[in-house]
Amino acid sequence: MAIQILIVDDEPQFERLVLQRFRRELREGAYQFVFAENGLMALEKIEQYPGINMVLTDINMPVMDGLTFLSKLKEKRPLLKTVVVSAYGDMKNIRNAMNLGAFDFVTKPIDFGDLKITILKTLEEAELIKNAEQARELTLRNEKLQELDQLKSHFFTNISHELRTPLTIITGVAGQLHEDPFKWGRAGIEMIQRNSRRLLDLVNQILDLRKLEAGRMQLQFIQADVLSLCNYIVDSFRFLAESAGIQLHFQPAVQSLYMDYDVDKLLRILSNLLSNAIKHTASGGLVSVSVSEASGPGPQLEIKISDTGCGISADQLPFIFDRFYQGPSPSPLPPSGELGTGVGLSLVNELVLLMHGKIRVESEVGRGTTFTLHLPIRNNAPLSELATPSSVDAKLTLDSATDASVAATTVVPAISDEQLPSLLIVEDNEDVILHLLHCLGNQYQPIIARNGREGIEKALDQIPDIIISDVMMPEKDGFELCEALKTDERTSHIPIVLLTAKVDVDNRIAGLRRGADAYLGKPFDKKELGAVLMQLLQLRAALRERYASLEISTTKNTEEAAYNFSLEDAFVQKARQLVVDHLNDSTFSVQHFCHGLGMSYSVVHRKLSALADRSPALFIRAVRLQQAKSMLGDASRTISEIAYDSGFNDPKYFSRAFSEEFGAPPSTFRN
């Protein structure tokens, strides 16, 4: 393909001269020259011939001179290389031309040998710039593709997380119903239906986005009172808000407002916004919905949904309506513990645009968020009294809100048997809690916490034997719970199983690094969960045998070697040394012992029971007796003296306690 060169010069003889001197190149098809008599005509040629590779231009021309042309060309084609060919070779013109983007400057009369070299040099530079620009565009395109790929990957991770929780309930409860149809009864079927609706609602949102993307979603306008629909939707969320301790206000500025709208689309928009508002608002907060008329390009319906929730950071606001976008996980998580899928707000925005409307958001971290929706008020559709959703999908959206309310009020059955190990379940989904309790039957004493903060508090207060925790929870997540409990000597010995829908390798590694003893994905297998819990409790039983001797050995068996017991070792050593330091002080009591450890009696009791299978009093006695046993090798001291030196006031009680501890009286240990 011939290289196109635009020549801008008002002298006809210059055109003839160029055609004559470059006749060989023209004959071979190397060059194609395009001529213009002035700058204005040259700009038109630029539009007419978009493939022009370079420009040769004079300066002094009628209509538009060369310098003006250069300035205009810089705006239109900033990368197009230009060589100025002019008799005005003074430094001022050269400087002005270069400042306006000229690549080179050739003076008249022209040395065509030099001009040919200049053209080749200019074309080489243009080719380099073209290649660099193509490389830059390719890099940008690849970066955008990578960014989109990451967003999609993040989206599918989020979607899988959202799908796994209801799937856990459906598969788990269905399996138990298969084993024993009478175990769950109607409650089990309702749980399956409730979580099936949640799954279907998520799938419908994804399908709606695909329809919008393909341009296959149709609007079905009716003309009816839009306030009636708004009130209906708000009422559908009222119980959900109240069950979360949130006030929900509906504030219409007019009695009624008849206009054209698509019932199901508007329901999807408002339900998403209301669900988000409630999800991100803590107990005691407020969500309000106001409806009014507003001015704009024609009459407008204005709907504002405001909350007093956690808010959205300024750097995330520009992206919240983007497809697949989900900002960084906030800390703490929203009160609901949910982060969403990256679908809802994108779908809202697309539906608003489809209905010829606009939506904007204002937010401040810690103060709340307001979404403002504007839709044009038109009255062209057939008049109808229908003001409630008609489609199955639309009703499904509201059913999901009702389902959340039902689940939030579920009464969790309690099992009380002090002989059973205590199990702390930290989970914000009531259906999952019930499913876990049914799976584990009567094998544990259950303790329930519904967020990470409450889980930490109950673990510190009750020192359970084992913990099952979700990861995605409000206030503090499962990783934070792990780290808090595993770095606290009061609770470091408690096995923690993370049971979560976040099953990717990165999250598994993060959980194990934070101290989790096991990491299971949802949906979980009931038998696998039971086996993991049993194995961890058996390991703790082996640990009790290790500490029962009060000797901290550096040699561990293979199973113990897989775990880090440094905090447990340090605690037992600290407790043992505390008694040794007060060995001959018979007044050193359990109260003094707990005070020295910096813990309450109940915490010390549970910790020592779990680690050494001894109460604080028996632990103190065991350390005294162990020290006494080592003194018996000194024949110069009587047994009574050793008893007193070990903190015992009564030698007879000492001998009896010694026999209980070691299975033989003190005299048998004399050399």
Q: How far is CA 617 from CA 588, 589, 601, 605, in A?
A: 11, 8, 11, 9
Give Dmax over CA atoms of the chain in angstroms.
133
Token reading at 600 = 């309450």
CA distance 580 to 599: 19
* Share of the chain residues as helix, strand and coil, in percent rounded to the nearest 5: 55, 15, 30
Task: Supply φ then ψ for residue 331, to 5 degrees.
Answer: -130, 115
pLDDT tens digits, 211-264: 776 777 788 899 999 999 999 889 888 888 888 889 999 999 998 999 999 988
Token reading at 439 = 């799976």
Element (H or E) spanning 362, and its range?
Answer: strand 358-364
pLDDT tens digits, 350-363: 889 989 999 999 99
CATH T-level assignment (fold) for domain 422-542: Rossmann fold (3.40.50)
| Confidence at residue 400, expressed as pLDDT on a 0 to 100 scale | 54
Q: How far is CA 108 from CA 23, 57, 61, 85, 114, in A?
A: 20, 12, 15, 7, 11
The arithmetic mean of pLDDT across residues 626-634, rounded, is 89
CATH node for 202-407: 3.30.565.10
Whether 484 has a pLDDT exceeding 90, the answer reads yes
| Confidence at residue 560, expressed as pLDDT on a 0 to 100 scale | 44
Whether 558 has a pLDDT exceeding 70, the answer reads no
Least confident stretch, 147-156, 163-172, 559-568: 559-568
| Confidence at residue 652, expressed as pLDDT on a 0 to 100 scale | 92
CATH T-level assignment (fold) for domain 558-669: Arc Repressor Mutant, subunit A (1.10.10)
| Confidence at residue 553, expressed as pLDDT on a 0 to 100 scale | 45
Token reading at 91 = 């430094």
Q: Where in the chain is the domain with CATH 3.40.50.2300?
A: 3-110, 422-542
Mark 102-129 as b/e (b = at least 16 C-beta within 10 Å): bbbbbbeebeeeebeebbeebbeebeee
Q: Where in the chain is the domain with CATH 1.10.10.60?
A: 558-669
CA distance 211 to 412: 41
Which residue would you say has higher pLDDT here, 400 or 197? 197
| Confidence at residue 329, expressed as pLDDT on a 0 to 100 scale | 47
Element (H or E) spanning 170, and its range?
Answer: helix 112-179
Backbone Cα Rg of the chain? 40
- What is the CATH class of 3-110? alpha beta
Which residue would you say has higher pLDDT here, 118 or 452? 452
pLDDT, mean over the chain: 82
Q: How far is CA 133 from CA 39, 129, 217, 629, in A?
A: 26, 6, 39, 85
Smallest CA-to-CA distance from 453 within 535, 356, 363, 331 is with 331
Q: How far is CA 636 from CA 333, 471, 562, 670, 671, in A?
A: 67, 62, 46, 11, 11
Whether 87 has a pLDDT exceeding 70, the answer reads yes
The residues with which 54 forms a beta bridge, in sequence order, are 5, 81
Element (H or E) spanning 290, and its range?
Answer: strand 286-294
pLDDT tens digits, 327-352: 544 444 444 444 444 567 888 888 89
Q: How far is CA 242 from CA 248, 281, 287, 306, 410, in A?
A: 8, 12, 11, 16, 15
The residues, ordered by sequence, that sit 6+ positions from 19 with a Cβ below 8 Å of its Cβ are 26, 33
pLDDT tens digits, 492-532: 889 999 988 777 788 888 888 888 999 998 888 888 999 99
| Residue for token pair 């608002």 | 281
* Residue 161 pLDDT level (bands cut at 50, 70, 90): low
The residues, ordered by sequence, that sit 6+ positions from 195 with a Cβ below 8 Å of its Cβ are 165, 166, 167, 169, 170, 431
| Confidence at residue 538, expressed as pLDDT on a 0 to 100 scale | 87
Output the pTM of the full model.
0.58
pLDDT tens digits, 126-154: 788 777 877 888 888 888 777 767 666 66
Whether 412 has a pLDDT exceeding 80, the answer reads no
